[in-house]
Structure 1
Amino acid sequence: MPKPATENLIEFLSNIPFFSEVTKSSLKHLTTVLERETFRKNKLVFEKGSVGEYMYIILSGSVKVHEKNHVFGHMHAGECFGEYALIDSNKRSASITTLEETHVLKIYREHFFQLISNDIGFSQGILSVLIKRHRNIDIIQENLASSKKALELANSKLSGLIDGAMDAIIMFDEKFRILLTNPSASVLFENNDVIQRNLLLFLDESSANRIQNLIKNDLNNDQPLSSNYLPDVIKVIGSHETETLNEGTISKWGDNVTSFYTLILRNIQDRLQAEDKIEFLTSQTEYLKEEIKELTSDHGIIAEDKSMKKVLQLVNKVASTNATVLINGETGTGKELVARAIHQLSDRKDKPLIRINCGAIPTNLIESELFGHEKGAFTGATATRKGRFLLADKGTIFLDEIGELPLELQPKLLRVIQEGEFDPVGSSETIKVDVRIIAATHRDLLQHVQDKKFREDLFYRLNVFPITVPPLRDRGNDICLIADHMIAEFSRELNRPINQLSKEDKAALINYNWPGNVRELQNLIERAIIISQNNSISWQSIIPQGGIEQEATTLQTSNTIYTAPELIEIEKANIERALKRTKWKISGENGAAKLLKLPPTTLASRIKALGIERPI
């Protein structure tokens, strides 16, 4: 048999927390004063700010608690709202609107007071509920106090962590207004009062654009931001115009309504400078290693002949100055040794002497070799390269075969001589250098000027202090002195003792014309010692005499005798075959010099001496 409606209602009311301590007899009295009302969907029950007189109990349906569009929560059947209207006449603190058709019970304030006054059981039940609520509030307050203390401790730890960080930490909103910084950020910005200032004002244009685009893409949901490492360097400009380079990360926090961002920056200025210094020293070390490999001799300058002594006198006079020196002389006379002597006697001797052969580098690469290039400046420029002039800063640069320098590059060299500055290939940055220039050539530069192959102004800038190195054939007994020294060196190096030169040997050396000068003498002596037998060498057979030159190796295997012109043609043809096979590459792993087992500088000299030219 179904329960009467009143009993069902009493049971329903007893499950409502506000009436949970009220006896059923008192709840029965309550049912006599309750009113019923039905609200349609999206109907406003009451509005925030209105004065209430009823408490509502939801029988069925649901409502939302809100202030305009902001929803605080939802309530369903078995819950009540508006209790404070029973005890005061204050304004409602929020609005109530139905989410669907909703049935409610409501009790009028005056009726509630009557029940309190007339029904002791009702008043005791309500009072018991209120006491329990009060106790719960006390417990909540105690928990809040404990939580507040724990929160303060956690906040203190977090503040210590943030304030003690060496990285700059900046929090800002979606309008780039700075909300919070740590001491490291104040140092970076050179400002202790940056709160509410625009973050972008402290960044250079490109860095500001990158940060602005990141936030814009995040707000538009094009590329939502969570935690991102910034791949590009961020440049910060402090209030005192100090510029620093930084790496950083950016992250987002907040809710769907408001977004906030945290930018963490680490100063990498010192690290970049250290990396740049390491790169510079590495480049310089690699260059010097190459130079050591390419040195044709370490015998120094041997001079007793007056013509060469005059050269040494000029070297001593000019070495202590910063004057530009132009060394003239035939190929193989030792122009590089003169340049090294000038450097070693100068105040720059503790700094590098950087050498470059202007005739041994392809035309399309020589500008990059001299002045360096930026990454991507041309096809194949996969990394930034420092040029020889920058490597020679505070030292000396030796421009060998300066007459081969392309005409279009000569103004740039002139600028370095006059202004001490240049622009690397592909860069708009002007670099200042302090370099002493020594140039050398076997050509008649003045004739080159008349032939429009060399700039007149550059010639006079280079020819401040000319030194002419005499050919070996004009140095008399120096030929024998140099030969004695080389024989001793190669004998020790190859572990092949050789008898001293006889008078006849010396006469043969002096009487030969030596078109290849000291370099030819060096090559001949090295070859002679290699093929020597029983500590003896037949120098008269090896040294070209009377226009006849015999290859020592040929003498041992064949009775054929070649004339000097024939030997020159044989050598020329052999070099041309090597060049064709290596596609006219002279130095390097796959170059003709390695194929012929010759130093690259020696091969370059022989190519010029023999008049070998690459076919067009």
Structure 2
Amino acid sequence: MGKTEHQRITKFLSQVSFFSEVSDASLRHLCQDLNAETFYKGDSIFEKDEAGNAMYIILEGRVKIHEHRHVYGFLGKGECFGEYALIDNQPRSASVTAEEETSVLKIERPHFIDLMSNDNAFAKGILSVLIKRHREVDDIQRSLAASKKQIELANAKMSGLINGAMDAIIMFDSKYRIILTNPSANRLLENDDVIQRNVLFFFDEVSAALIESLVKSSLNDHSNTLNKFLPNSVKVIGSNEKETLNEGTISKYGSDQETFYTLILRDIEARLLAEDQINFLTNQTRYLQEEIKELTRNYGILAEDEGMINVLNLIEQVAHTDATVLINGETGTGKELVARAIHQASPRNDKPLIRINCGAIPTNLIESELFGHEKGAFTGATASRKGRFLLAEKGTIFLDEIAELPLDLQPKLLRVIQEGEFDPVGSSETIKVDVRIIAATHRDLLDYAGKGKFREDLYYRLNVFPIEIPALRDRGTDVCLIAQEMIQQFAAKLNKTVVELSESDKNLLLSYHWPGNVRELQNLVERAIIVSQNGNIDWQAIIPSSTENIPLNARSTSENILTSDQLTKLEKENILRALKKTHWKISGKNGAAALLKLRPTTLTSKMKALDIVRSI
């Protein structure tokens, strides 16, 4: 160490509180055997429980005093640490790590003891500092003794209040150092030795930022009044890594010179679990109420058509099993009605039927909706949630629009079908369920599978018992049967006169193509009842134009408007021409139904409605 550097270090040491009473000459003696060491960010200077052998003085930089994750504080330029190692070799009480590039002076115990023994001025200076500190302690003790009784009384009252509280009470100063905790707080923090530790280190990043912002805002407005509820719940992380959500209040007290804060926290985990259970039961009740509402409607599945009678027979066959059912049919044909009929006729009818439209839920939410999620699984998941499969336990789940289920989620559904188990989002715990699965689609799933839009193995698992619902246009006079039932329902609901369908009304209903099927029929009937006057309905104004069903050679080029009777006559004549051309053969490749592009059952129904009989 050069002379200039020697002088600089001597001057530096004279400004360190530990050596403030030591003469310059003695400090020069001290500098003769000092070692300067440099540590970089993250370097350990010494670890807790190591034998102490030296004291350190920070020349430049910053260090952290800590025990594992918990930080006691930070030291900077001119501050000392490890002083006790100068007089004994007891284990270090904490670890010290460089927070940035840090230079320190290291005073070895033998050198210090040698100076104390051989340099009277050095020993006198050190003792003067210690005596000064001792006197300061004595002054404090005398001051405290003067009001000992008052302090003891106040402390007894405070201790009884704080220690008996069920809520966690944490007091800390403006530097976030904990100064007091009650037993409830120690249990929450999983630590009985938290005094002087930074309170923020017991919270996750978001919660720590919230508390810090509240403290800083109170300091900035120079107000001693802070007493408010925490605007959000905060997450506490205990020393044993246990995480809990808490609600609470924060208050401020003290003077301009010294400010303290009291944080009162209440664990809300139990309440969240109770709320989750309540939500689960509420959802289940809501589903059951919806089922009751649907089941109490008077029009269910009404059918006289052979194709729909076959559907009813299939429902009866499969209802008493647990087989997976795949319902196919155009939009509006009543796929959900068939699913509900299967559930109601099954042994599971005392449990809920949970319905979910796979095409109506955003892709990023459908997995959580079906299988549930754990707290913290994604942003905003502040509590665990049970999915639809768990809501349907022992009951039935109806997956409408199954073709819209994302490809990456299909293996998880396949696992539920095959194994009866799944993992909620964000959980490694496997949950077993006993659920009957009914799926529905208006798509050709096999074609979708061939195009890579649907898993072929999932299709075959779903297609154990397929049910094809015929379109309304292919159900013959069922359209009139259903319409009459709907008329009675809407008339009662809207307090209108019940209207009976005439033959011409029925012919109009039969002549329309019904692209929207039963759902479209329901909407048109409701509209008809709303606008009906004195029991009269103008069905021609309600039902969309049916001219597309009239052969081109039968349409008037003069754009004459045809009456209902004229339309019925044209249709009857068109059917008769087709029957005569096919020699009254109705079905088959060369039959009248194929010529008219109708199903044989539909043609038969139209012939019956139009009173078409082959003459003998």
- TM-score normalised by length of structure 2: 0.49
- TM-score normalised by length of structure 1: 0.49
